[in-house]
Structure 1
Amino acid sequence: MPCRWIVTVFAAVVFLVGGATVAHAAVHPPAVHAKAWVLVDLRSGRYLAGKDQNLRLPMASTTKIMDAILALGAGHLDRKVTVSRRAAAYARAPYSNAGLAVGERLTRRELLEAALIPSADDAAYALAQSLGGGSTKRFVAEMNEEAGRIGLHDTHFENPIGLDQEGHYTSARDLAKMTRVAWRHPLFRRIVGTGYTTLRVGGREIPLVNTNRLLFDYPGAEGVKTGTTPKAGDCLVAAARRGDESYLVVLLDDGERFPDAASLLDYAFAHYDHRVLVRAGREYASVGVPYRRGEKVKLLAGRSVSYTVGEGDGIERRVHVREKLPDAVRRGEKLGEVTVEVDGRIVGRSPLVAGRGYAAAHWWQKLWYTVRGIFG
């Protein structure tokens, strides 16, 4: 049956701390040296702070995050790949490399580890050749197609490594979005969070040491990727988690990338909090039972809604209840909805369900209800 809704504002508050309503003056993020940067909540993608976050800039080896998205999407990570002469050409300075030799055979998984942990260009190129059916040009086309699917409007790839090249660029905001897509893959999270590991190839061992210094220095650091070229400067994508909170920083062209990332992550942990804004099972409204004066049914949240909120954020919950209730209701049946807004933007919804059921009223209950309505 079609239903209409009665909407009421349940609560409007400014950043809940310990159950109290507290208003704070805005605290600005620390100054950093990056040409462009962004700080986001890793879970929701909420933009928290940034500068020139849509500016198109070279990305260096953060390019390999897209390599990982395509590799993980393609699967067959145990498939063996033979290192080509072209890939092995990157196994020397000035390229970051794993020292791979022509004819050596590694799995796609091993190449991905080498590409992400020490940022090995030779491994990334061999991986791209494998995924592109032998053609890096085809693989780069797939990178750009994937960028379009993800909605990266300020990103374009010209090579699979991140070498400085006209038309090879991204923005801090796009790079954050790209990283959040990769972050959905448990293997990606495991690899970029690895400090040290060893590959065994052709009877020799290749030590891999992560180029992301935060993994060793910053409490809660989980990854993600460094990048450096003459044109791009020093770049960094960094993620960290503490308890229920997790944040992502992107810094492009920042000569102080590690301390700057640590400062921004410290700021996020200090001034934001991941909160349960609607709790499953809690009462958020009540409705009268049809034809029973004074009899109420509690409406309980069917699921929790959580979100990262900051000091000074306006939080509003709006309760929507069906204008005409059914004659009979089962326990757990949806009778409404509560929506949560943070600074005017809807961030979550939860159904409101009946805390108990009730049967349809008998004819004499309806009659008595009508009579009492007439005579008071």
Structure 2
Amino acid sequence: MKPVPVTALLAAVTLTAPAHASTTAPIGGDALGSRGLVKPDGVEAPPKTQATSFVIADVDTGQVLAAKDAHGRYLPASTLKTLTALTLIPKLDKDLKVRPSENACNQEGTAVGLSPKVTYKVDDLFRALMMSSANDAAMALAETNGGVPKTMRDMNAEAKRLQANDTVAKTPSGLDKPGQSSSAYDLALIARAGLANPAFRRYISTKVAKFPAPKSYYEISNHNKLLWRYKGMIGVKNGWTSKALGSFVGAATRDGHTIMVTIMRHDGYFWDEVAKLLDWGFQVRGHVPPVGQLVDPIPPVRPTPRQVAVSPAPGVASKAPMVNTASKQTDTTRKIGAGVIGGALLFGVVWLGFGIRRRRRSSA
């Protein structure tokens, strides 16, 4: 199914609550400005969830199939690590070796147990970040990227590039901080971009991996429970803090199609609810008009091509920059004239001397 123009999205959409009061149109379509449930007409509503906000989307087409408070800004908790990974994977060599600082090793919250006595590859740190939701790995990666301030600038620039305008990153780990925010819609944008990156996809789909230890290694496992129990689950990321409550981004593929679900502010056990939302997405995809669209990233600004002088075609006036040759011609003329005059004078002197010698010989 081809993407439907944003202006046509409201034609077959049911809104169950008033839209946000805003002077600008919501990214992805007007219907996504609603705080209530938005679904296509003619189909049953998605299964109930305790999440305050959610989005169900077709990853292949970018079509939003249903949503609730899609642009509501909430604390993202560790789902923000999707933005950390997406931003830093292209910047850091996966084979680069890192000795973490004491600051990185002492981060609060979920950790993989980094030690300042062990050298880790960046590849190890990304696995810990996305599989074990390791805050110490998040800090170590940020410091490797040049420090937290630079990494925050990079992450927020990446969010703007993706048009994830509800997202403000304040920490690389997603630990709560005033002013930090994201939305279910933005998390879908970020995860969709991540799924197009082979390294990102590898980290989120790994179930178990070996992780370096001071004397050997130990095993770490993925915190995404649906990797173990939902058919076709690719993975992505879950998060939780006491202020943010539960959040999750998950994607699964069946019969060549990929559906994504994002939820925010869920106060409880959400795994079964997410599985049912995914089932609903697979059931309706391709059969209903979308209620919105996951927009594409902003294209990079291409530099203006440098001007190059090109020989004109026959009969076409040259547009190459003009060169002032008058002075060159004048200089050349002066040089030729001076040479002619000098040669004439030299000839005259020689001829005069020859004549004098002849006269002297004749008078002797």
Query: Under a length normalisation based on structure 1, what TM-score does the superposition of the two structures give?
Result: 0.65
> Structure 1: where are the runs of 5+ without partners?
1-13, 15-23, 273-308, 314-341, 348-376
Q: Equivalent of 1:114, from 118, 125, 128?
A: 128
Amino acid across the alignment from 1:58? L
Asked if 1:125 is matched to 2:139, the reply is yes
Report the alpha carbon displacement of residue 116 of structure 1 after superposing the two structures with TM: 0.4
Instruction: Report if aligned partners of 1:105, 1:201 keep a CA contact under 8 Å in 2.
Output: no
Report the alpha carbon displacement of residue 343 of structure 1 after superposing the two structures with TM: 9.3
User: Who is 2:280 aligned against?
Assistant: 267
RMSD value, Cα: 2.1
User: Who is 2:88 aligned against?
Assistant: 71
Asked if 1:103 is matched to 2:117, the reply is yes
Instruction: Report if aligned partners of 2:47, 2:277 keep a CA contact under 8 Å in 1.
Output: yes
User: Who is 2:105 aligned against?
Assistant: 88
Query: C-alpha separation between the residues in 2 aligned to 1:256 and 1:44?
Result: 30
Report the alpha carbon displacement of residue 103 of structure 1 after superposing the two structures with TM: 3.4
Query: C-alpha separation between the residues in 1 aligned to 2:208 and 2:130?
Result: 12
Amino acid across the alignment from 2:167? T
Instruction: Report if aligned partners of 2:159, 2:167 keep a CA contact under 8 Å in 1.
Output: yes
Q: Residue 270 and residue 344 in structure 1: after superposition, are their counterparts in 2 closer, same or farther (change >3 A)?
A: closer
Query: C-alpha separation between the residues in 2 aligned to 1:188 and 1:40?
Result: 19
Equivalent position SS for 1:64: helix
Query: C-alpha separation between the residues in 2 aligned to 1:234 and 1:39?
Result: 17
Equivalent position SS for 2:89: helix
Asked if 1:198 is matched to 2:210, the reply is yes
Query: C-alpha separation between the residues in 2 aligned to 1:67 and 1:181?
Result: 12
| Structure holding more helix per residue | 2
Equivalent position SS for 1:253: strand
Instruction: Report if aligned partners of 1:106, 1:201 keep a CA contact under 8 Å in 2.
Output: no
Q: Which deviations, in whole Å up to 9, do the C-alpha atoms of 1:47-79 show, x marking residues without a partner?
A: 111100100000001111111112222141111
Instruction: Report if aligned partners of 1:154, 1:170 keep a CA contact under 8 Å in 2.
Output: yes
Query: C-alpha separation between the residues in 1 aligned to 2:208 and 2:249?
Result: 18
Amino acid across the alignment from 1:257? F
Report the alpha carbon displacement of residue 200 of structure 1 after superposing the two structures with TM: 2.6
Report the alpha carbon displacement of residue 149 of structure 1 after superposing the two structures with TM: 1.3
Report the alpha carbon displacement of residue 163 of structure 1 after superposing the two structures with TM: 0.7
Asked if 1:310 is matched to 2:327, the reply is no
Query: C-alpha separation between the residues in 2 aligned to 1:33 and 1:112?
Result: 31
Query: Under a length normalisation based on structure 2, what TM-score does the superposition of the two structures give?
Result: 0.67
The structure with the largest alpha-carbon Rg is 2
Asked if 1:26 is matched to 2:3, the reply is no
Amino acid across the alignment from 2:63? R
Q: Equivalent of 2:233, from 221, 232, 244?
A: 221
User: Who is 2:150 aligned against?
Assistant: 138
Instruction: Report if aligned partners of 2:64, 2:291 keep a CA contact under 8 Å in 1.
Output: no
User: Who is 2:28 aligned against?
Assistant: none
Identical counterparts, % of pairs: 33
Query: C-alpha separation between the residues in 1 aligned to 2:43 and 2:127?
Result: 41
Q: Equivalent of 1:156, from 162, 168, 180?
A: 168
Amino acid across the alignment from 1:100? L
Query: C-alpha separation between the residues in 1 aligned to 2:100 and 2:245?
Result: 29
Instruction: Report if aligned partners of 2:105, 2:116 keep a CA contact under 8 Å in 1.
Output: yes
Instruction: Report if aligned partners of 1:199, 1:206 keep a CA contact under 8 Å in 2.
Output: yes
Q: Which deviations, in whole Å up to 9, do the C-alpha atoms of 1:286-329 show, x marking residues without a partner?
A: xxxxxxxxxxxxxxxxxxxxxxx224x4xxxxxxxxxxxxxxxx
Query: C-alpha separation between the residues in 2 aligned to 1:234 and 1:173?
Result: 16
User: Who is 1:182 aligned against?
Assistant: 194
User: Who is 1:257 aligned against?
Assistant: 270
User: Who is 2:299 aligned against?
Assistant: none
> Structure 2: where are the runs of 5+ without partners?
1-11, 13-40, 296-364
Query: C-alpha separation between the residues in 1 aligned to 2:117 and 2:168?
Result: 31
Query: C-alpha separation between the residues in 1 aligned to 2:109 and 2:48?
Result: 31
Q: Residue 344 and residue 87 in structure 1: after superposition, are their counterparts in 2 closer, same or farther (change >3 A)?
A: closer
Report the alpha carbon displacement of residue 201 of structure 1 after superposing the two structures with TM: 3.7
Query: C-alpha separation between the residues in 1 aligned to 2:292 and 2:237?
Result: 34
Equivalence map 1:227-306=2 (5 Å):
227-254=239-266, 255-272=268-285
Q: Which deviations, in whole Å up to 9, do the C-alpha atoms of 1:89-132 show, x marking residues without a partner?
A: 02xxx61111111232111111000000011111111011101x
Instruction: Report if aligned partners of 1:125, 1:160 keep a CA contact under 8 Å in 2.
Output: yes
User: Who is 2:318 aligned against?
Assistant: none
Query: C-alpha separation between the residues in 2 aligned to 1:343 and 1:169?
Result: 24
User: Who is 2:177 aligned against?
Assistant: 165
Q: Which deviations, in whole Å up to 9, do the C-alpha atoms of 1:155-213 show, x marking residues without a partner?
A: 00111011111111100001100111111111111110111111134432132111110
Asked if 1:53 is matched to 2:73, the reply is no
Equivalent position SS for 1:226: strand
Report the alpha carbon displacement of residue 256 of structure 1 after superposing the two structures with TM: 2.9
Report the alpha carbon displacement of residue 344 of structure 1 after superposing the two structures with TM: 12
Equivalent position SS for 1:197: strand
Equivalent position SS for 2:71: coil
Amino acid across the alignment from 1:74? K
Equivalent position SS for 2:79: helix
